[in-house]
Amino acid sequence: AQKITQTQPGMFVQEKEAVTLDCTYDTSDPSYGLFWYKQPSSGEMIFLIYQGSYDQQNATEGRYSLNFQKARKSANLVISASQLGDSAMYFCAMTLAGGFKTIFGAGTRLFVKA
């Protein structure tokens, strides 16, 4: 069965430092997409970064990068130079071929300290 696991319920990081949020996934389907979304206290889900299962290089979007290790089935999010505004819930998600269903992990709450 398809599953997303985020094992860190909460994380603290000092402002301006980098932080890694862990995500592992489980699927036997060769075609899939991995996503990270940010959910601030306002509740809206904001797309951060995408990695396709056939992509050879790790995805990057500004201060966000995705450390994709296919053999280990992990898709960790790295946030560089953390800012106070990065404090939020972060969700890892996976969409399979067919594309109508996106599965979300339980999320990691990130706290950025000044």
Using CB under 8 A as the binding rule, whether residue 107 contacts other proteins is answered as yes
* Closest to 39 in 3D by CA, of 113, 93, 101, 96: 93
* One character per residue 48-87, x = contact with other proteins (rule: CB under 8 A): --x-xx----------------------------------
C-beta of 25: minimal distance to other proteins in Å?
12
How many chain residues touch other proteins (CB under 8 A)? 30
Instruction: Select 45 or 81, whichever has its Cβ closest to other proteins.
Output: 45
Binder among 18, 81, 84, 106 for other proteins (CB under 8 A): 106
Binders of other proteins in range 15-44 (CB under 8 A) = 31-33, 35, 37, 42-44
What's the 3-state SS for the chain?
Answer: CCEEECCCCEEEEECCCCEEECCEEECCCCCEEEEEEEECCCCCCEEEEEEECCCCCCCEECCEEEEEECCCCEEEEEECCCCHHHCEEEEEEEEECCCCCEEECCCEEEEEEC
Contact set with other proteins (CB under 8 A): 4, 31-33, 35, 37, 42-47, 50, 52-53, 91, 93, 95-107
